[in-house]
Amino acid sequence: MEKPRVISEAFRVLKPGGRFAVSDVVFLGEKSKLPPGVARSVELWSGCISGALEKSEYEEVLSEAGFEEVAVEVTHTYPPEQIAGLTGEDVEALRAVPAASAFIRARKPELR
């Protein structure tokens, strides 16, 4: 997964006090509970899902990179039945671990 590396690089190149902000897809639960086929099915619907982090993972990766004021604000949760290619057990799996759009924000600390 490249997101931790990308976040570390964003931290490196930002000036002190600089802000990091992206819109991304996050899981609102443990993605390890999803059957492997779900990620492939959902990938056809949105490439963002296959690389999505859990909300808590995103917060942790940003904090570990050195960011402060970390916030992951969920803006929209996707109903599983609206995702093309999902049926039965896959829909139920995504009901347990929903995917959502989120604004992700953080700030690089000022020099002291």
Average of per-residue pLDDT across 71-100: 83
pLDDT tens-digit map of 48-74: 777 889 999 999 999 999 999 999 999
Q: At what angle do helices 3-13 and 55-65 cross, to 10 degrees?
A: 40
pTM for the full model?
0.84
The string of DSSP letters for 48-79 reads HHHTPEEHHHHHHHHHHHT-EEEEEEEEEEPP
Domains, the chain, ordered by start = 3-107 (3.40.50.150)
For residue 81, the number of C-alpha atoms closer than 13 Å in the C-beta half-sphere is 0
